[in-house]
């Protein structure tokens, strides 16, 4: 459905050239929800705007539904209004002087396709009903709540019946509770309509909750791409592990292979069994990434296996207890069940699930 190859976009500034997209490439299958995830300035919005035709790339190729809409080598550039896309911006771009109906109908009135009044009304009514704004057609757009304005912007994009929907951080202006609600509604709507969607966000929770596929961007490049669970559980670099959720990093060296496809890593605090993607020869320096929820905390009074640790902080969060633990000067963060009772100064024992510990490249090596 969407194919992006070797995309390059450079902005010229007073301080010199800024590479926003550095050979970006990916494919999105029809009907899938694909997310570009990364911090501000990583190039995700520029990539989206290039797909929409709002930015002209410097190199590469973009294909939509089997047609090339941009090719640097072939000197092809299809204007945005001819790309059969719908787009929702972060600011919604609602026309304040128009009614709800007129806002949703606007792209149909200025588009190339000439529709009859009956056809236009049918499309707009269907789009408004899809986002649960039926009955509000005559209301001034400024009288809508933030969530309703977000849905109106989505209805306006859907009214064109596009093959591709592009969403540029559409939920970032909503409060936390409404953002969570709209996240679920938007994902359910996309599933129901089966419309191919590319979503841009810096919010890791949004990306993990909504996507079929996540592409993590950093410094203009895609550094890892895959299903949400794979991105979270099998980060390929320190940046991905640190950016997606919370994690603990332990430097060490690979000692050698272990049973069940695991490897043994020696650290200054003790050995750890973990997963090592690819070949990791003995002696290679690695970082072991351990998520807080994958650390088991047990009473340290009784003898047994595991690392001895001291509780520095235990914060009750309702659904879990967030702990800060020290092991020989190393601080680890653990997240345990709320039924676990512990206090500052308690001695505990820590154990780690080998299949949840990942040996990754050390700091500074965040390439693809």
How high is the pLDDT of residue 361?
A: 79
Report the distance separating Cα 1 and Cα 69, nearest Å. 12
CB of 124 within 8 A of CB of 104? yes
What value does the mean pLDDT take over residues 8-27?
95
Report the distance separating Cα 288 and Cα 272, nearest Å. 8
Q: Grade residue 180 by pLDDT with cuts at 50, 70 and 90.
A: confident
Report the distance separating Cα 97 and Cα 105, nearest Å. 14
Task: State whether residue 161 is helix, strand or coil.
Answer: coil
Alpha helices in the chain (DSSP H): 44-52, 100-110, 117-130, 146-158, 176-193, 204-210, 228-233, 238-243
- Residue entry with tokens 């679920």: 184
Q: Which residue has the higher pLDDT, 257 or 110?
A: 257
Q: Grade residue 363 by pLDDT with cuts at 50, 70 and 90.
A: low
Task: State whether residue 344 is helix, strand or coil.
Answer: coil
Structure tokens at 312: 């520095």
In terms of phi and psi (left: phi > 0; alpha: psi -120 to 50; beta: otherwise), the region of 34 is: beta
Cα first-last separation, the chain: 24
What domains are defined for the chain?
2-238 (3.40.50.300), 239-360 (2.40.50.140)
Report the distance separating Cα 151 and Cα 211, nearest Å. 19
Exposed, middle or buried, 261 (CB in 10 Å: 0-12/13-18/19+)? exposed
- Does 364 score more than 60 pLDDT? no
Tell me the pLDDT tens digit for each residue of 117-153: 899 999 999 999 988 899 999 999 989 988 898 889 9
CB of 51 within 8 A of CB of 66? no
- Does 174 score more than 90 pLDDT? no
Tell me the pLDDT tens digit for each residue of 225-264: 999 999 999 999 999 999 998 999 999 999 998 888 899 9
Q: What is the pTM of this model?
A: 0.89
What value does the mean pLDDT take over residues 188-210?
94
* Helix, strand, coil in percent for the chain, rounding step 5: 25, 35, 35
- Does 107 score more than 60 pLDDT? yes
- Does 368 score more than 50 pLDDT? no
Exposed, middle or buried, 317 (CB in 10 Å: 0-12/13-18/19+)? exposed
Report the distance separating Cα 149 and Cα 100, nearest Å. 9
How high is the pLDDT of residue 190?
A: 92
Report the distance separating Cα 333 and Cα 353, nearest Å. 15
Radius of gyration, CA atoms only, the chain? 25
How high is the pLDDT of residue 304?
A: 62
Tell me the pLDDT tens digit for each residue of 322-332: 999 999 999 99
CB of 232 within 8 A of CB of 244? yes
Report the distance separating Cα 337 and Cα 293, nearest Å. 9
Q: Grade residue 85 by pLDDT with cuts at 50, 70 and 90.
A: very high
How high is the pLDDT of residue 301?
A: 61
Count of CB atoms situated within 10 Å of the CB of 169: 19
- Extract the runs of DSSP E, i.e. beta strands, from 209-363: 213-218, 221-226, 248-257, 263-267, 270-274, 285-290, 295-299, 307-316, 321-327, 330-336, 347-352, 358-360
How high is the pLDDT of residue 101?
A: 95
How high is the pLDDT of residue 302?
A: 59
Q: Which residue has the higher pLDDT, 281 or 203?
A: 203
Count of CB atoms situated within 10 Å of the CB of 355: 14
User: For residue 333, which phi and psi values (nearest 5 degrees)?
Assistant: -110, 130
Distance from the Cα of residue 32 to its chain's centroid: 14
How high is the pLDDT of residue 176?
A: 82
How high is the pLDDT of residue 132?
A: 87
Percent with pLDDT over 70 in the chain: 96
> Residues near 114 by Cβ (< 8 Å), separated by ≥ 6?
none
Structure tokens at 165: 């929907």
């Amino acid at each position: 459905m969407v194919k992006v190859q070797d995309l390059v976009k450079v902005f010229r500034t007073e301080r010199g050239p800024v590479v926003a997209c550095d050979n970006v490439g990916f494919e999105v299958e029809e009907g899938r929800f694909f997310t570009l995830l990364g911090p501000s300035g990583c190039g995700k919005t520029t990539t989206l705007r290039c797909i929409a035709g709002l930015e002209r790339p410097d190199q590469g190729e973009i294909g939509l539904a089997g047609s090339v809409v941009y090719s640097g080598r072939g000197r092809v550039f299809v204007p945005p209004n001819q790309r059969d896309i719908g787009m929702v911006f972060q600011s919604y771009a609602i026309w304040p002087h128009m009614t709800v109906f007129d806002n949703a109908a606007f792209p149909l009135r200025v588009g190339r396709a000439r529709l009859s009044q009956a056809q236009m009304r049918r499309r707009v009514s269907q789009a408004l009903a899809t986002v649960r704004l039926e009955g509000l057609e005559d209301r001034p757009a400024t009288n809508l709540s933030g969530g309703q304005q977000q849905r109106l912007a989505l209805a306006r994009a859907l009214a064109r019946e596009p093959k591709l929907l592009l969403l540029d951080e559409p939920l970032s202006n909503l409060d936390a509770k409404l953002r969570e609600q709209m996240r679920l509604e938007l994902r359910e709507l996309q599933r129901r309509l089966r419309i191919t969607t590319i979503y841009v966000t810096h919010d890791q929770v949004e990306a993990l909750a909504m996507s079929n596929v996540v592409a993590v961007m950093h410094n203009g490049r895609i550094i890892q791409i895959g299903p949400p669970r794979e991105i979270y559980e099998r980060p390929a670099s320190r940046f991905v592990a640190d950016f997606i959720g919370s994690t603990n990093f332990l430097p060490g060296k690979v000692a050698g292979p272990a049973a069940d496809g695991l490897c043994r890593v020696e650290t200054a605090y003790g050995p750890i069994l973990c997963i090592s993607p690819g070949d990791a020869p003995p002696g290679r320096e690695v970082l072991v990434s351990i998520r807080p929820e994958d650390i088991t905390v047990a009473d340290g009074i009784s003898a047994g296996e595991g690392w001895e640790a001291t509780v520095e902080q235990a914060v009750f969060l309702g659904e879990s207890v967030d702990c800060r633990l020290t092991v020989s000067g190393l601080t680890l963060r653990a997240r345990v069940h709320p039924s676990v009772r512990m206090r500052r100064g308690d001695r505990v024992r820590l154990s780690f699930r080998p299949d949840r510990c990942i040996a990754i490249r050390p700091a500074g090596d965040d390439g693809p």
